[in-house]
Structure formats: structure tokens, C-alpha cells
Chain A
Amino acid sequence: MTGPGEESPVTSDFVRSYVITGGRSLPSSDELALHTLVTLAPGRTLPLGAGPEVRAIWELCSGGYLSVAEVAGHLGLPVGVARLLLTDLSEQGHLLRRAEPPRAQNVDRATLEKVLNGLQSLIG
């Protein structure tokens, strides 16, 4: 028999993600996009029986707005799993969310040139 010293280290995630979701189906990514910002609604108390992940989310989001992607990153969980937990909290009214800021529109070259000309005429 080999000694305990020969035990190789095990580094895979100890609690598998399907256990965290409880085998439930995952919300689609339209529900809470990666850039959607979430924060804890004021005056809320942690639900009874909250698991370690929900506690961690609670702690993370109590400080202000964080994006869904950031929450998942801090928890070390796949985004879909974090999204499910956030959706739960959001449905229970614990979370406030704010849609991602609209993406900047591409402005056509002519407009940019007009602006440049305008600025040059102002400064120059």
C-alpha cells in the first residue's frame, strides 16, 4: 500500500455546477445579458436557507451595481449558473437590475468630417 504522501492532489471544482442549479433548466441569455447591471434592492434581508453562492452574490451585490458577467467571474461559476441564481433573487424582488447601456452607433464619415471642419474653424 502506498503512503498518504503519494496521494495526488485533486483540483477540479468540488461542488459541481449542476448541483448548484439543482438540475433546473437554465434561463436563456436574453433574460439577463452579460452586461446587465444588478444590485441589491435596499432594505432586503438574506432569504432563509440561502446557499453559499447566494450568500456570496448577496455580499457582492450589496456594494453597488455589478454586471452579470462580473458576478459570475467573482463566484467562479459559469455565467448560466450565476444567471439562474440572479434570476431567482430578482424574481423574489431582492435585486434591482438595469439594462446595459446602448452600444455606441457608428457615425458615418461625412458627419465626422463636418465635426472636424467645425472644430477646426472654431479653433483655427
Chain B
Amino acid sequence: MTSLIKDPLLWILLVVLAAAVLAVLRARRTNLALRRTRKDLEARLGQTQGRIGQLEAHIDTLDTRHRGELADVRADAESATKAVLKSAMGTLQSLAEEQQLLLDQLLKKYGNDSEVLADLMSVDHTGSQFGRRAKGISVLCGGWLGRREGAATVYDVTRSAQGRIKDFNRVSIHAQASVAVVGKAVEPVAVVLAELLDNATTYSAPGTPVEVNIQAVPTGVCFIVDDAGLGMDQETKDRAAALLSADGPVDITGLGDPPRFGFAVCGMLANRYGFHVSVGSVSPYGGVRAVIRVPESLLSADVVAPAEPEQQEPVEAGQEDAPQRLAPVPVGPSRVVGTTSGGLPKRRRRQGPIAVVPSPPDPAALEEETSESSGEVTASRLGAFARGTQLGRTTNTTEGPDHQ
């Protein structure tokens, strides 16, 4: 037994055992503590995750509210801008119209002086372009173009549109249809066509022609604008198609800087008045082909006779007084019937008066006169002669200063 006690191996064993027991105990305690901590941590993680979820939901609601409010503010700003622009453009529009009316008078007043007339015309040309821009912006802001009284032929609508762009003399018109556009659609179609012509002339080389073909189709009439430019890339086509088919208000701040109003104006007007504009196809010259299709509901035939295309401008249609014209007189350029003994040309006495001015309210007299059948004719002719000479005298006196 003592030997056992004295055996160092036993002591070592005991010590090791004790150490092992201690180690196990400590490990267990640590284990327990760790488990507790873990449970604790897990609980806290759960809480945190829950809170994160809540926060995320909150952020989402805030975000949607923010987006909604931002959209509202944008819409408000847009409509405020539009309202301001609309009234400003309205003023410019009426000033442009006033200027054109004034120029109409001036052109007639100084019509006899070709130099002044040419200068006035160039002023008129810039004025027309200015008016078109103002109208375009006004339309985008919800404004109106102004209404023309009476229908206008498709040919005149095209010429009017032609006059509103810079390079108007590059445009040639081929009208195969002879219908008229009703009064309310005259300005819109002219403005849209002007925008298309402006695009066509701007995006093609300076010398190249731009052609407008007007053709009747079963559903109405088509204005086909062809240019010889480089055509449009897919992005521009998509943008144009989107703007042309837009059926709501247009975001004017999204039109670029400098803003490109053209297609937006076309889309807006086409949508408002019920005609159709497309620009997707390729022209025979390799450029862009743009087409305006005006439906039958916006056309009328009352201005033009079916066989005779584009007889008169609508402006003149209102003033259909019988023109004071001179009746035909049988006088040729030379009335020499022989020579006198002295070698001078012998002339026959004039058979009738040069100027026979029939009284305006009696157009029937003119027809009778040409048939030359009754004595009444002679009387009327004498009277007319008197009136004619009277007219001649007054004309001479009133226009005297011109010759000074």
C-alpha cells in the first residue's frame, strides 16, 4: 500500500484526473454560458430582423408617397409653366396675326413699288415663321390656333404651310386632288404640314427638292411630304412615333434643349382634330416620307367645282361681286388699213369704245351686251362709256401724285 502511495505514477494519475475533472466542469460551464448567449443573440437577431422588416415597409411607403408627391409637384410645375407659356404665346400669336394683317395692307399699299414690295415680303416671311413657332408652343401648352372662316383647298393649305418655313422655295407641290379642308381644320393641317416641311427642309441638303404630293384616298386625302435627306435613325423614328401617337398632354420639358417641338405639335393637333400623321417610311429619294391623312369628315367639296381644281382662294369667295370688266371690243393691235398719199398709215375709225364698264349690280347686261342683239345694248353701252370716262377722270386725279 505504501508502495502504492509512494508510487509517483499514482500521484500523477490523480493529478491528471483532478485536472480532467476540473477541465470538464469548466468546459460545461462555458458551454452553458455560450448556449445562453446564443439564445440571447438569436432572440435579439429575430427582433432586429423584425425591425428591419418594419423599417423596409416604412421606407417603401415613404418612397411611394415621395414619388407620388414628386409627380404631383412636377405636374403642377408643368401645368403652371404651360399656363404661363400659353398666355405668353397667346399674346405673341395675336401680335403675329396683327403684324400679318398690317403687312397685308402694306403689301397692297406699296404694291406698285417692286423694291419696297420685295422688302415687305421678306419681313412677311420672317413674320410667318415667327407666327408658326408661337402657334406650335401655344398648342403644346393647351392653347388654340385660331379659326379660319371658310374652307380652303388642299393646294392653298399646302401653299400656306409652305409660306411658314424658311426654305419655302425648295418645296414643290403636286396636287392630284381638288378637295377643300373645312374651316376648323384649315389652320391645324397647315401648321402640321409646315412642321413636316420644316423637318424635311432642315434635315436634307440645301439644294435638294422637297415634294408635296396631295392624293385622294378612299378615306380622305393624303398630303405626302418626301425629302432627299439621310432619313431617320431608329431612335428618332421611335421618338417620333411616340410623340405622334401621344394622346395626353406632352411634357414640354422633355423635348430637349434646344427643344424640338415639331413632332409633339403634330401629334397633339392630329389627336385633337382627328387626322393622322406618320413619318416612319422612306421617300423615293431615300429621305423621309411623312404623310398626313385627313379623313373625309374634315373635308368639304363646296369650294371647288369637281372638274376644275382650285379655282379661287377662300378669301375671294366671300367677295363675289361681279367683276367690273371691260366688254370685248373688236380691236387688234394694229388697225392700219392702208396708207395715205403722203405715205402715212391710214387708220379706220374705232368702232366701239375701249372701255365699257357695266354697272356692277346688273351682270345680266354684260351677257346681253356680248350677244349684241337689242337697242338696249347700245344704250347701256353709251351709259357705260359715260361711266367709263368718268371713272377714267377720277382715276387720273386720284393717282396723279404717283407720277410726280
Q: Does B213 contact A (CB under 8 A)?
A: no
The CA of A57 and the CA of B271, in the complex, are separated in Å by 39
Q: Known contacts A37-B354, A56-B316; is A23 also within 8 Å of B168 by CB?
A: yes
Contact pattern, B 182-203, Cβ under 8 Å of A = 1, otherwise 0: 0010110010000000000000
Contact check, A13 vs B142: say whether CB atoms are below 8 A apart: no
Residues from chain B with Cβ under 8 Å of A22 in the complex: 169
Residues from chain A with Cβ under 8 Å of B366 in the complex: 63
- Which single member of B144, B313, B326 contacts A63 (CB below 8 Å)? B326
Residues from chain A with Cβ under 8 Å of B312 in the complex: 52, 55-56
Q: Does A4 contact B (CB under 8 A)?
A: yes
- Segment at the interface with A among B6-14, B30-38, B156-164: B156-164
- Which single member of B100, B113, B323 contacts A13 (CB below 8 Å)? B100
Contact check, B112 vs A34: say whether CB atoms are below 8 A apart: yes
Contact pattern, A 84-112, Cβ under 8 Å of B = 1, otherwise 0: 00000000000010100101000000000
The CA of A45 and the CA of B169, in the complex, are separated in Å by 27
- Which single member of A2, A11, A26, A72 contacts B118 (CB below 8 Å)? A26
The CA of A122 and the CA of B383, in the complex, are separated in Å by 30
Residues from chain B with Cβ under 8 Å of A124 in the complex: none
Residues from chain B with Cβ under 8 Å of A12 in the complex: 97, 100-101, 103-104
The CA of A9 and the CA of B234, in the complex, are separated in Å by 40
- Which single member of B156, B184, B186, B311 contacts A55 (CB below 8 Å)? B311
Contact check, A26 vs B148: say whether CB atoms are below 8 A apart: no
Contact check, A16 vs B128: say whether CB atoms are below 8 A apart: yes
Q: Known contacts A55-B310, A96-B333; is A13 also within 8 Å of B147 by CB?
A: no
Residues from chain B with Cβ under 8 Å of A79 in the complex: 108, 111-112
Contact check, B125 vs A16: say whether CB atoms are below 8 A apart: yes
Contact check, A64 vs B112: say whether CB atoms are below 8 A apart: no
Contact check, A63 vs B111: say whether CB atoms are below 8 A apart: no
Contact pattern, A 6-24, Cβ under 8 Å of B = 1, otherwise 0: 1111111111111111110
Q: Known contacts A7-B144, A18-B121; is A66 also within 8 Å of B162 by CB?
A: no
Q: Does B371 contact A (CB under 8 A)?
A: no
The CA of A19 and the CA of B121, in the complex, are separated in Å by 10
Residues from chain A with Cβ under 8 Å of B399 in the complex: 34
Contact check, A80 vs B144: say whether CB atoms are below 8 A apart: no
Interface centre among A13, A21, A74 (most CB of B within 10 A): A13
Residues from chain B with Cβ under 8 Å of A6 in the complex: 144
The CA of A35 and the CA of B355, in the complex, are separated in Å by 12
Contact pattern, B 112-148, Cβ under 8 Å of A = 1, otherwise 0: 1110011001101100100000000000001111111
Q: Known contacts A34-B399, A52-B156, A64-B356; is A14 also within 8 Å of B148 by CB?
A: yes
The CA of A103 and the CA of B147, in the complex, are separated in Å by 47
Interface centre among A14, A22, A56 (most CB of B within 10 A): A14
Contact check, A1 vs B142: say whether CB atoms are below 8 A apart: yes
Near A by CB (< 8 A), chain B positions 300-340 give 308, 310-316, 319, 323-329, 333
Q: Does A28 contact B (CB under 8 A)?
A: yes
- Which single member of B108, B153, B169 contacts A78 (CB below 8 Å)? B108
Residues from chain B with Cβ under 8 Å of A77 in the complex: 108, 111
The CA of A105 and the CA of B336, in the complex, are separated in Å by 25
Residues from chain B with Cβ under 8 Å of A13 in the complex: 100, 104, 315
Contact check, B144 vs A2: say whether CB atoms are below 8 A apart: yes
Contact check, B402 vs A4: say whether CB atoms are below 8 A apart: no
Contact check, B326 vs A11: say whether CB atoms are below 8 A apart: no
Q: Known contacts A12-B101, A14-B315, A52-B155; is A64 also within 8 Å of B108 by CB?
A: no
Near B by CB (< 8 A), chain A positions 36-70 give 37, 39, 51-53, 55-56, 60, 63-66, 70
Q: Does A27 contact B (CB under 8 A)?
A: yes
- Which single member of B114, B147, B152, B329 contacts A27 (CB below 8 Å)? B114
Contact check, A64 vs B325: say whether CB atoms are below 8 A apart: yes
Contact check, A64 vs B326: say whether CB atoms are below 8 A apart: yes
Contact check, A16 vs B163: say whether CB atoms are below 8 A apart: yes
Contact check, A66 vs B146: say whether CB atoms are below 8 A apart: no
The distance from the CB of A74 to the nearest CB of chain B, in whole angstroms, is: 5
The CA of A81 and the CA of B146, in the complex, are separated in Å by 27
Residues from chain A with Cβ under 8 Å of B169 in the complex: 22-23
Contact check, A10 vs B156: say whether CB atoms are below 8 A apart: no
Residues from chain A with Cβ under 8 Å of B103 in the complex: 12
The distance from the CB of B14 to the nearest CB of chain A, in whole angstroms, is: 104
A sample of 6 inter-chain contacts (CB < 8 A) reads A7-B145, A51-B310, A66-B326, A77-B108, A78-B110, A98-B333
Counting from the closest, the 4 A-B pairs by CB-CB distance are A78-B111, A79-B111, A12-B100, A10-B146
